Structure 1
Amino acid sequence: MIKFFRKIRQKTLTENKFGKYLLYAIGEIVLVVIGILIALSINNWSNNKELRHTEQMYLLSLQSEFQTNLNKINESISENKVLMIDIEQMLTLFDNNVRDTISDKEISDIMFSIFGNTVSYQPSKGVLTDIISSGNLNLIQNEQLRQHLASFESTNDIFELQENGINSAKEEMIRLLNINGSIRKVVIHRGLNFKHQSISDTINNKNLFSLTEFENNLLNYYLSIRGANGSKVFGGIKEKIELILIELDSEINK
C-alpha cells in the first residue's frame, strides 16, 4: 500500500500536481500512523495478557497460602480451648477441699499439660511478602483485595502484643515453680526415671496452691489466653483470612 502511494506521489510530482501530491502524502502518513497504532495495540494486548497471567498465578498462590493460614488459626484456637480447660482445672486446686481429692500424679499431669504447651500462631507469609517487597501488589486489580492483603501484617501484630503478655505470665509461673515446687516430680510422674535420689523428692507441688502470687499469675495467664482466642485477636485474624479467601476465590473464578 505504501509503495502504491509512493508511485502516485512520484507521478504527481512529475506532472507538477502539488495538490494531489499533498493529498497522497497525507494518506501515506496516516497509513504509517495507523500501522504504529496497530503495533502498539498488539504490544499492549500482549503485555496485558502477560500481566493478567502473572496476576492469576499470584492469586492461586495466595489462595493456597491463606488456606494454610486458616487451618493454622483454627488449630491454634482449638489448642487454646484445651489449654484453657486445663487451666480452669488447675485454678480449682486453690480450693483446699478440691486439692485434697487430687493425687500428686494428677497434679503433675495438669502442670505438664499447661507448662508443656504454648499459645502460638505463625502465619505463612512467603508469597504475600514476595509480592509486596517486589512491588507487584498493584498487579492485583481488585482494590479492596489489595488493601486487605496490605493490612494483613498489622492484623498479626495485634497477636504479637498479646503473646508478650501471655509469655510473661507463663515465665513468672515457671519462676515460682522453680522456687517453690519440683519439676523433677512432674517429669517422674510423666514416666521419666532417675537413677539417684534428689533433695527435691520431698517437695510436694501442692504447696504451690497455697501461694497467692502463683494463683494471680495463673489467672493472668488464663485471661490472656482467653483474650487471644477472642474476637479481637485470633477471631479477628480468622475473620480477615476468611474475607481474603472469599475475595481471592471471586477473582480467580472471574
Structure 2
Amino acid sequence: MIKFFRKIRQNLLMENKTGKYLKYAIGEIVLVVIGILIALQVNNLNEQRKANDFEVKILKEIRNNLQTDLTEIREDLELMVDINKACLSVKNHLLTLDEPTDSLSVSSAILRVTPHFNPINSGYNLLQSRSVGIIKNDSLRNSISYQYDILYPYYKTYEDERGRFHALHSETQLLEYFSMNYDINNPSAYYGFYFDISKEDYQKLKKDSKFIKLLNAIAFENSTIQSRGKRVENSILELIDKITIELQNK
C-alpha cells in the first residue's frame, strides 16, 4: 500500500501536476491521521474493555468476601446471644440454688467465649494494588472504602477492648473458682467446653459479691460488641446489595 501511494506521488511530480500533488499529499495526510485516530480509538476501547472486565472481577471477589464475612459475623452474634443468656443463668443460679449443677457448668464455660471477627480482605487488597479509582461508581467506591478502612477497623477496636477486659478480669475470676474442661463428645458441653466447680468453691462463689459485678460487666461488654456487630452485619448486607446492582448494570 505504501509503495502504491509513493508511485502515485512520483507520477504526479513527473507530470508537473503540482496542484494535484498538493491535494493528493493533503489527502494522504488526512487518511494517515484518520487511520491513527481509528487505531487510538480501537486501543482505547480495548483498554476500556479490560478495565471494565477487571472492575467486574474485583466487585465479584469483594462480594464473595462480604458473603463470607456475613456468615462469620452472624455466627459471632449468635454466640453473643448465648453469652448474655449465660450471664443471666449464672447469676440466677448463684442467687437461687445452693449447689452447682450441669447447667452452671455449661453456662460458666460460655463466659469464657470471646467471638472474634476476621474479615476477608483479598478482594479489597487486590483493588488497592491497582487503584480504587477503577470502581467508577463514586457512591459504591466510597462505600467499599468505608467498609474496609473505617468500619471493620472500628469494630476491631471494640473486640480488642473486650479481649483486654477478659484477660485482666474475667479469666482470673473464672480460674479462681472453676476448672476448665474440654470434651467434644460431652453432649451437655458447649462446643466441648464445660467448667467444674467443687461444692466448697461454689459456696465461696455465692458469697463473692465481686463476681456478680463481673457478670454484669461481662454482659455490658458483650452487649456493646453485639450492638456494633449488628451494625457491621447491616453494612455488609447493604454493600452486597449495592455491588449486586452495579454488576447487573454492567
Of residues 212-221 and 236-245 in structure 1, the stretch that sits farther from structure 2 once superposed is: 212-221
Instruction: Call closer, same or farther: CA 1:220–1:165 in 2, change over 3 Å.
Output: farther
Equivalent in 150, 155, 173 of residue 151 of structure 2 = 155
TM-score norm. by structure 2 comes to 0.83
Gapped runs of 5+ residues in structure 2?
Answer: 190-196
8 A contact 2:116–2:159 mirrored in 1: yes
8 A contact 2:58–2:126 mirrored in 1: no
Q: What do residues 62-112 of structure 1 show as CA deviations (whole Å, max 9, x unaligned)?
A: 2211111111111111121121111111222453xx133x53443222212
- Indicate yes or no: 2:79 matched with 1:79: yes
Aligned amino acid, residue 246 of structure 2: E
Matches within 5 A, 1:98-247: 98-100=96-98, 103-115=100-112, 117-132=113-128, 134-153=129-148, 154-171=150-167, 172-179=169-176, 181-183=177-179, 203-230=200-227, 233-247=228-242
Distance in structure 2 (CA, Å) of the matches to 1:81 and 1:5: 83
Counterpart secondary structure, 2:130: coil
The equivalent of 2:13 in structure 1 is 13
Instruction: Call closer, same or farther: CA 1:201–1:67 in 2, change over 3 Å.
Output: closer
Instruction: Call closer, same or farther: CA 1:173–1:99 in 2, change over 3 Å.
Output: farther
8 A contact 1:69–1:124 mirrored in 2: yes
The equivalent of 1:253 in structure 2 is 248
TM-score norm. by structure 1 comes to 0.81
Gapped runs of 5+ residues in structure 1?
Answer: 193-199
Q: Which runs of 4+ in 1 moved over 6 A?
A: none
Counterpart secondary structure, 1:151: helix
The alignment covers a number of residue pairs equal to 237
Aligned amino acid, residue 135 of structure 1: R
Structure 1 position 3, deviation (Å): 5.6
Instruction: Call closer, same or farther: CA 1:10–1:170 in 2, change over 3 Å.
Output: same
Aligned amino acid, residue 110 of structure 1: S
Distance in structure 2 (CA, Å) of the matches to 1:27 and 1:105: 96
Aligned amino acid, residue 149 of structure 1: I
